Amino acid sequence: MLATIQHKNQTIEVDLLKPIDISIPLTNTDENPIAWYINKPEIEPVVFGEWTGSVQQGASTNFNNIFFNPHGHGTHTECLGHITREFYSINQSLKQFFFLAELVSVQPELKGEDLVITKIQIEIGLNGKTPEAIVIRTLPNTNDKLSKKYSNTNPPYLEEEAARFIRESGTKHLLIDLPSVDKEHDEGKLLAHKAFWNVTNVNDLNSDARLDCTITEMIFVANEVKDGRYLLNLQIASFENDASPSKPILYKI
């Protein structure tokens, strides 16, 4: 189903029947990826006395409670409310859902004991392009990202200068296949988050902070998906929270 779309003075054509889902599904199994020292998600039937919300157990419907953390249990999109004293909601911050995106593959560089995505690597990957969204796939890209337990593993992260470069390029939406753009143990500095959102004071937000920009973490982009330009549909649930589980979809242009 080919669709011709007019997007910010550009005419693009995409096949809506060929979506590329780069989200990781949330499950209550041991295969669910986990970050930030929490247990796996819980999905279980509601119980009222002798009644259990499960068709297998005699109910007319399945009626489950779900307990999860959007930051630690899978693909999620967050706004700057993730790091500010004042409350900001992803549901209020993200009001448009289609963007031109550039998919870039990067092999983090070893710096001391850390693996770091550098400004130069992002510059080379973008090659002068200024997309609305950047999708960063780290190399090597293996399927264990779909179930990895990240806690206390010091995963790769985005250099502060790289996040600042992305911001200064005008890119408003950053997607990455890591649990955070920042170092796991960084003494709460959150340098990449702050650089991308242009937040200088989390207690008294500066007037030029980027309220309508988002970071999406813990995506997974399969190897057969080639680097290049895509139409991104960034889908969230309507949570009044700093972050929401999300379902980013790419369409080849």
Q: Which helix (H) or strand (E) holds 162?
A: helix 160-168
Q: What's residue 21's pLDDT? A: 98
Only one residue has tokens 């990240």, namely: 150
Q: What's residue 6's pLDDT? A: 86
Q: What's residue 31's pLDDT? A: 96
Q: What's residue 38's pLDDT? A: 98
Give the residue among 20, 41, 14, 19 at the shortest CA–CA distance from 30: 41
Report, as ranges of residue numbers, the positions in the chain whose pLDDT lies below 70.
Answer: none
Helix (H, G, I), strand (E, B) or coil at 12: strand
Instruction: Determine the Cα–Cα distance for residues 232 and 132; give it in Å rounded to an integer.
Output: 9
Q: What's residue 65's pLDDT? A: 98
Query: In the CATH hierarchy, which fold is given to the domain comprising 2-35+70-252?
Result: Glucose Oxidase; domain 1 (3.50.30)
Q: What's residue 7's pLDDT? A: 83
- Between the CA atoms of 54, 55, 60 and 66, what dihedral angle is there, to the nearest 10 degrees? 30
Write the DSSP symbol of residue 145.
Answer: G
Give the residue among 233, 174, 177, 231 at the shortest CA–CA distance from 198: 174
Helix (H, G, I), strand (E, B) or coil at 167: helix
Amino acid at 225: V
What are the two backbone dihedrals, phi and then psi, of residue 104, each rounded to the nearest 5 degrees? Answer: -130, 130
- The full set of domain ranges for the chain reads 2-35+70-252
Q: What's residue 1's pLDDT? A: 81
Each residue's pLDDT tens digit, 175-197: 999 999 999 999 999 999 999 99
Rounded alpha-carbon distances, angstroms, from residue 47 to 27, 39, 61, 146: 20, 22, 13, 31
